[in-house]
Amino acid sequence: MNQLSRGCDILVATPGRLIDFIKREIVSLTNCTNLVFDEADRMLDMGFEPQIQEIFQFSKIPKKEARQTIMFSATFPPKIQELARTFLKSDIKITIGKIGSVSDHIDQKVMLVPEPDKLSTLISLIETIKQENESAHVLIFIDRKSAVDSIEIKLFREGYRVVSIHGDRSQSERDEALGLFRSRKASIMVATDVAQRGLDIPNVTHVINYSIPNDIEDYVHRIGRTGRVGNTGIAITFFNDTNASIASDLAKILSDNKQEVPAFLASFAQSSSRSYFNKRYDRRDTKSHGRYFPQRTFQTSTRPVSEFMAPPRYTGNDDTWNNY
């Protein structure tokens, strides 16, 4: 606030905090000539539409005829178009690339993995990836924060340099984890959707969707963390009968990008109501389908439960690993 009291040329803020500062007269938009909303579609998804409307309607903000308003958005749903028509003057849409498209540099693979087999499959997959490319940089997406923690622990105990981020971590913890991953001191990062947008992480070689998002646009954003700036990348998605609702959209994304659509996915896309596992595959055989299913035997851990209660934190010091 002390810095704000001295004035500034550019102010970056979340909608809620900006409104709070305006109401407390810490910030004034009287002389605002340029108003920018980044990730506008994401803001709407997160329920920020009332705050966006409120910012536009402050009496002291210059009218739309006297300011330039810019909205950046990966998609342009009807709500975004409505906001543009209401609050922008003579609005135009500039499109870079194809909206909602996937980079040609990403090799997409979908694997049939029953829910109980996900963890063992993930560990086998990571092992195979590392055997093929020792310097592989892997980003794993998981829906639940508790699962992020438990899988980080499991990969840590398998000997991998792994970090994680999710919504319950403090900003400093997130920054530390991202710093280790960006600097390649950690080769694996496990994350919730907090990492699917807006993070510039160079040289991610693999994205693994341990959990499939419910929205195909989120899938596109997730796998877009690899194959950036002309680099090639591999996106691997675990699929089973609990993901039937997204099968059609996923098959279309693969087809549109000239990627192989597995037979099991095509079957789900044609009839999501049919239980594919019961009618086509015996679960014992699913590990033989696809290149990324190396055979491996897993034993039940004999370690006490207390060892698994708190997730480890890799700090970039090899002693963290040697002394554990």
In this structure, the strands spanning 138-141 and 34-37 are unpaired
Encoded tokens for 277: 């596992």
Q: Give pLDDT, residue 305.
A: 41
User: What residues form DSSP beta bridges with 190?
Assistant: 140, 164
Q: Give pLDDT, residue 289.
A: 44
pLDDT by 10s per residue, the chain, length 324: 778 878 889 999 988 899 999 998 888 889 899 999 988 877 876 778 889 889 988 878 888 888 898 988 877 777 778 888 888 888 888 877 665 568 888 999 999 999 999 999 999 999 999 999 999 999 999 988 889 999 999 999 999 999 999 888 888 888 899 899 999 999 999 998 876 565 678 789 999 999 998 888 889 888 988 988 778 999 999 999 999 999 999 999 999 889 999 999 999 998 764 444 444 444 444 444 444 444 444 444 444 444 434 455 656 665 554 443
> Per-residue b/e over 166-178, b at no fewer than 16 CB within 10 Å?
beebeeeebebbb
CA-based Rg of the chain, rounded to a whole angstrom?
Answer: 23
Q: Give pLDDT, residue 234.
A: 95
| Among candidate residues 204, 222, 226, the one with its CA nearest the CA of residue 213 | 222
Break the chain into its structural domains and give their ranges: 8-87, 106-272
Alpha-carbon span 290 to 5, nearest angstrom: 60
Q: Give pLDDT, residue 157.
A: 93
Q: Which CATH class for the 8-87 domain?
A: alpha beta
- Give 106-272's CATH code, choosing from 2.40.50.100, 3.30.1330.80, 3.40.50.300, 1.10.260.40: 3.40.50.300
| Among candidate residues 32, 36, 35, 46, the one with its CA nearest the CA of residue 79 | 46
Q: Give pLDDT, residue 254.
A: 93
Alpha-carbon span 99 to 87, nearest angstrom: 22
> What is 50-103 written as a DSSP string?
HHHHHHHH-TTSPPGGGSEEEE--S---HHHHHHHHHHSSS------S-TT---
Alpha-carbon span 51 to 16, nearest angstrom: 6
106-272: same fold as 8-87? yes
Q: Give pLDDT, residue 196.
A: 58
Q: Give pLDDT, residue 314.
A: 57
Q: Give pLDDT, residue 310.
A: 47
Query: Is the model's pTM score more than 0.75?
Result: no
Q: Give pLDDT, residue 41.
A: 77
CB 268, CB 242: distance < 8 Å: no
